[in-house]
Chain A
Amino acid sequence: MARNLLKRDSISFFLEILATFGKLHGPILTDDGVLAFRPLGSGNDLLLEYSRTLVPPKKYLLPPRDAVLFFAPDEWYHQLAAAVPETILVGLHPCDLQGIAYLDKVFLGDRIDPLYRARRTALTLIGLSCEPDENCFCGDLSATETHGCDLFMHQSPGGFNLKDNTPKGTAILDRLTPILAEGKSLPAVSRTCDMAAAIQLASVRSETHGESALWDEFAERCLSCGACSLCCPTCYCFDIREYGALDGESTVRLREWDNCLFKDHGEVAGGFNFRKSRQERFQYRYRHKYLGFGPTRGIASCVGCGRCRAVCPVGIDLLELFKERQDEKQP
C-alpha cells in the first residue's frame, strides 16, 4: 500500500497544488458546447469524464497558425525570444498521450525543431484513464497508456490512483502526498480491439489497399474541408508562408496547419502537382498515417482516438479499408 489515491472530494486541493507548478489547462465544455483544452478556472471546469476534445492537445506544441520567423533589414531572420510559460496539461487520455509521443518523434527526432522543443519542455502532461465510446479504436495502442506522461490518473471506484513516470511527475506526487489516501497500485489496463489489431497487422505488412474501390468512393464524397487532419492528434503537416509589412522591408514567416486533401499540399512551383486528384491524396493520407515514411517509416501514427470519424461532415471513415480486408477473410 502506498499513498497514491486521490479521492474525488480532494480534486479541488489537487488542482490548487498542481497550479503551483504552472498554468493549468485541461478539457472543458465551451459555451458553444465544444469539448476543448482551455485554461482552467474562472468558470472553465475540468472534465474528468469526457469523450474527446474537438482539437487535440497538439495545439500546445504546434499552434494552428504560428509566427516562426521575423525579418528586419538590420537583424536578418530572427526568432522572437518569447518565454514559454510552464503549462500543466491535466486530463489527457492515453490516445492523446500517444499522439504527443509521436509528435516528439517527429519534431525532436533526427532534426530538432527549436520552437517545438521550447514548448514541449515547458509542458507537464497528466494522463487520465478513460472508457472507449463507439468512435474509439485504440485497443492495444493504449497498453502503454502512461507512455510519455509525467503523472497518470487511473480512475478507480475510490478515486484516482496516481502513478509518476518522470522526475517531474515524482516532484508533483511528493507535493500531493498530504492530500492522498492509501491505495493499491493498479496494473496497466490492456484493452483488446479487433480494429486496432487489424490496423497493426496491415501496418506490419505494408498493406496499401491499392485495389480497393473505396478510394474512388471517398474521393467522390470528400469536401476537402480539412477537419480529419486538423483534428488528428498526429497530423503535423504544415505550410510555410511569408508576408511583408507596409514598411516595404520587414516580414513575418508563418507556419500553418496543412491538410493532405487540399490541392496546395502537393503543389510546387510552376503549378505542378504531385497529387492532382483527390483520390491520390486519400491514398497518400493512408500511407503516411498507417505506414509512415521518411524517418517514421513503419510507424503507424493512428492512435485510435476516433476524431476523424466523428468530425467528417460526410461520414468518411478510413477504417472501412481495414473492415473490407477483414470481410474478405471471412468465408
Chain B
Amino acid sequence: MKKPIIAIAGLTACSGCQLTLLNCEEELPEIAQRFIIDYFPLGLTERLITGPIDVAIVEGAVSTPSDLEILMKLRNSSHSLVALGTCALWGGIAAMKNQESRKDLAETVYGSAADGLKTFNPQPLHRFVKIDFAITGCPPETGELLATLAALLRGTFPVFPHYPVCSECRSRENLCLLIERNEMCLGPLIQAGCNARCPAVGIGCEGCRGPVTEANVAAETELLLKKGFPMDEIVSRMQRFYPEWDYEQRS
C-alpha cells in the first residue's frame, strides 16, 4: 500500500485540534508508520511545504495574510484538503464577535498597538478555498479523527451521521435538560458525534460542534423564547461557536 503523504497545519486557533491528534498516544506509532508526514509545524522541526501532498489537514480560521498564504500553499500542493475542527469549518470562537467593528475590538485588546495589526474577521476555510472534507468539534473527537485517517489509507473519507446531539443524548438515556429542566440546551441544532458529552453530565449543549444539517433554528429559538430566555441571551449563546446562524431557517 502506498503511504499517503499528509500535512497538518494550524491557522488562527488554539492548536487544540492538532493536540487531539498528538493525544492519540496509543495510535501515534501506527500513524507514523502508515503515513508520510510532510508538514506539521507543531510536531516536526522541518517547516517547509514542499508538496505534492495527498491530504492537508488544517485547523483554525483564516484571519491574517500569513494564514491565507499557508492555506493557499497547502491547497495548491494538496490533492485533498480537510478542515479540522469548528474554527476551520464554521469560524469558531475567534469569529464570535465578527458582527462588531474589527477596529474597536483590536483597540480594546491591543490599545494603540492595534494600528499595526494586519488582521481581518476570522473566516472558515471554505470562504477562500474548496474543502473536501471536515471534522467538526472544539476540539474534534479522537474517534472521528482516527476514523478519517483510517479512511485516508483506503483513499476515501468516512461517512459520519448527520443528526443532532439530542439523538445520542436520548440513546444514552440522559435527562432532557431542555424539557425537564427548562435549560438553554442547543442539542437540537448541533451536529452529533460527541455522544452528548455535556448533557450527560448535566450541562446544556453549548454548540461547540456547529450546526447540524437542516437545523430548525426558528423552532428552537421560539422554544427558548417561550421558556423565558431573552433573545440577546439566546443569540449570545448561539454565536459562541458559529456567528452566522439564520434565525429564520426551518430546514
Contacts and interface: CB of A to CB of B under 8 A. Distances in A.
A227 B187 CA distance: 12
A241 B251 CA distance: 25
Interface of A: 30, 32-34, 36, 54-55, 64-65, 219-227, 230-231, 239, 241, 243-248, 256-257, 259, 262-264, 277-278, 311, 313-314
A226 B146 CA distance: 27
B173 A225 contact: no
A65 B170 CA distance: 12
Contacts of A230: 167, 170-171
B166 A223 contact: yes
A239 B179 contact: no
B170 A231 contact: yes
B161 A241 contact: yes
B171 A262 contact: no
Interface residues of B, number: 42
Contact of A239 (B149, B161, B216): B161
Contacts of B175: 32-34
B193 to A, nearest CB: 12
Nearest to B180: A33
Contact of B179 (A30, A32, A311): A311
Contacts of A220: 219, 250
Given A33-B175, A55-B171, A225-B188, 18 more contacts: A34-B174, A34-B175, A54-B173, A55-B173, A221-B219, A223-B220, A224-B164, A225-B166, A226-B166, A244-B154, A248-B153, A257-B171, A262-B161, A263-B214, A264-B213, A311-B170, A313-B166, A313-B188
11 contacts: A33-B175, A33-B180, A224-B164, A227-B170, A231-B170, A243-B150, A243-B151, A248-B154, A259-B163, A263-B213, A264-B163
A221 B214 CA distance: 13
B102 interface: no
Contacts, number: 114
Contact of A313 (B153, B212, B223): B223
Interface in B132-169: 146-147, 149-151, 153-154, 158-159, 161-164, 166-167
B151 A246 contact: no
B122 to A, nearest CB: 29
B232 interface: no
A15 B12 CA distance: 60
Interface string B170-187: 110111101110000001
A286 to B, nearest CB: 19
Contacts of B219: 220-223, 314
A227 to B, nearest CB: 5
B166 to A, nearest CB: 4
Given A226-B167, A277-B251, A32 B216 contact: no
Contacts of B223: 223, 313-314
A246 B251 contact: no
Contacts of A36: 173
Nearest to B165: A225
B202 interface: yes
B1 interface: yes
Interface stretch (B26-34, B55-63, B77-85, B111-119): B26-34
A313 B179 CA distance: 6
Given A65-B171, A225-B187, A259-B163, A246 B216 contact: no
A32 B158 contact: no
A73 to B, nearest CB: 12
A331 to B, nearest CB: 35
Contacts of B179: 311, 313
Contact of A224 (B30, B163, B171, B202): B163
B31 A278 contact: no
Nearest to A241: B159
B188 A223 contact: yes
Interface string B41-73: 000000000000000000000000000000000
B26 to A, nearest CB: 10
